[in-house]
Amino acid sequence: MSLARRLPYEWLLGWRYTRAGRASRRNGFISFISAASMLGIALGVAALIVVLSVMNGFRQEVTERMLSVISDVEVFSPDGEALADPARTLAEIRRNSEVVGAAPYIGAQALLARGEAMQGAMVRGIDPAQEPAVTEVVAQMRDTLLPRLAPGSFGVILGSDLARKLGVGEGDVVTLIAPSGQVTPAGVVPRLKQMTVLGTFSSGHYEYDSALALLHVDDAARIFRLEGPTGIRVKLRDMDRAREVADEFAQTLSGHLLILDWTRQNRTWFAAVQLEKRMMFIILTLIVAVAAFNLVSTLVMTVQDKRADIAILRTLGASPASIMKVFVVQGALVGVIGTLAGLALGLAIAFNIDVIVPALERLFHASFLPKDVYLISQMPSDPQAGDIVPIGVISLLLSFVATIYPSWRASRVNPAEALRYE
């Protein structure tokens, strides 16, 4: 038995009306409206998938680049002074089974000057022997720049964009200006120290490449007049457990310390990205809803055009429920086809966006992602099933809901009234 004979006639009629021919001007117009509704659903679904995939990729890319410079957890003194007992704090941190690396550091703000150029900098004094265990970007310099970062040499490693702004390169000398000055009879004089640029690094994250300066922890202590490190940076086995481990440190570490995990350090940024993603989902879902409810006009016109057919079916014994099913099937098929087409188009773009965007940039001679604004310069994409499945389900539900009223109206057609002028 063929598939057509096994299917209920409601399905067959619904499919026939969906692919309505162009035998008449009215049928042609209805067919056009139906195709437009299908295309609208497909474009709305594709737009949702692409936008959410790009936002997922953006968040993941920035997080990875951010974590190549910052640590999973930071433990530091609340007043910016040296830790009371850094050796004991370091030992207590390393007792936690989740910790794979820990290193002391000094964090401070300063100005770097070269001729007329002057830039604010986040100065980080590091221990070259321990820092590679907690920071990926420093680990990449293990065999190149780190051996030259010796105590007393007053060498500095600059972020690539910071070095570019100052106009310096390897071997050049910059002046570091500490914020707290020396008290002299003539007043407060800022402390200045000339430092040799040992090289540059690039993390791919503009915020750090444009502001971070690395020097030896002992040199930082002398410049900022500290007796030791101001904090300890910690690397964990699983960065997703950073908040949990930070809470454990709050209970187990001795002394008055501040403890921040990487999610809390950048809480505002992550909250903003999550809010943007949620709002974009709502806004683009409205586009899908508009396209889905175009089915209402399509089905209303189809019902009006098929009144005679409905009347004949009713006189042959078809129930109102059967008539309703015919038009529900028609609308549902438009929704299913549009949703599947949108899923295919959206995933095709999302998985190939690294090729599509550069091609468009070359075509229009434009940069869609200036790295000084968006932190990264390449369009990332990360399609996730947690986004794609709800998109498909919502699109199908909206399409189904849009069919209910026109289908109900079709089931209420009076056969005698409909055949009066036929």
The conformation of residue 19, written as its DSSP 8-state character, comes to: T
Cα distance between residue 164 and residue 329, in whole Å: 63
pLDDT at 21: 46
Tell whether the torsion through CA atoms of 122, 127, 132 and 133 is positive or negative: negative
Report the length, in residues, of the chain: 422
pLDDT at 162: 92
**Continuous segment of H or E residues that includes residue 32:** helix 25-67
The conformation of residue 178, written as its DSSP 8-state character, comes to: -
**pLDDT band, residue 375 (cuts 50/70/90):** low
Q: Are 347 and 48 in contact (CB under 8 A)?
A: no
Alpha helices in 210-319 (DSSP H): 217-224, 242-252, 262-265, 267-305, 307-315
Q: Are 173 and 195 in contact (CB under 8 A)?
A: yes
C-alpha closest to that of 374 among 239, 273, 271: 273
Q: Are 345 and 46 in contact (CB under 8 A)?
A: yes
Cα distance between residue 375 and residue 206, in whole Å: 5
pLDDT at 16: 64
**pLDDT band, residue 188 (cuts 50/70/90):** low
Cα dihedral 66/71/74/80 (nearest 10): -70
Cα distance between residue 347 and residue 152, in whole Å: 55
- Domain ranges in the chain are 3-64+269-419, 78-256
pLDDT at 22: 45
pLDDT at 200: 92
Cα distance between residue 334 and residue 345, in whole Å: 16
Whether the pLDDT of residue 156 is over 70: the answer is yes
Whether the pLDDT of residue 26 is over 70: the answer is no
Strands (E) located in 115-228: 117-126, 155-159, 173-177, 182-184, 187-189, 192-201, 212-216
Give the residue-averaged pLDDT of 233-246.
89
Q: Exposure string (b/e) for 381-417, b if CB count within 10 Å is 16 or more? A: bbbeeebbeebbebbbebbbbbbeebbebbbebebee
Whether the pLDDT of residue 353 is over 90: the answer is no
Q: Exposure string (b/e) for 164-178, b if CB count within 10 Å is 16 or more? A: ebbebeeeeebebbb
Question: What's the chain's average pLDDT?
Answer: 81
pLDDT at 20: 55
Whether the pLDDT of residue 377 is over 80: the answer is no
Q: Which residue has the higher pLDDT, 413 or 58?
A: 58
Cα distance between residue 213 and residue 121, in whole Å: 6
C-alpha closest to that of 395 among 54, 38, 20: 38
Give the residue-averaged pLDDT of 359-387.
76
Q: Are 214 and 156 in contact (CB under 8 A)?
A: yes
DSSP-derived secondary structure for 328-379: HHHHHHHHHHHHHHHHHHHHHHHHTHHHHHHHHHHHHT--S--HHHHS-SS-
pLDDT at 283: 84
Tokens of 363: 């075509």
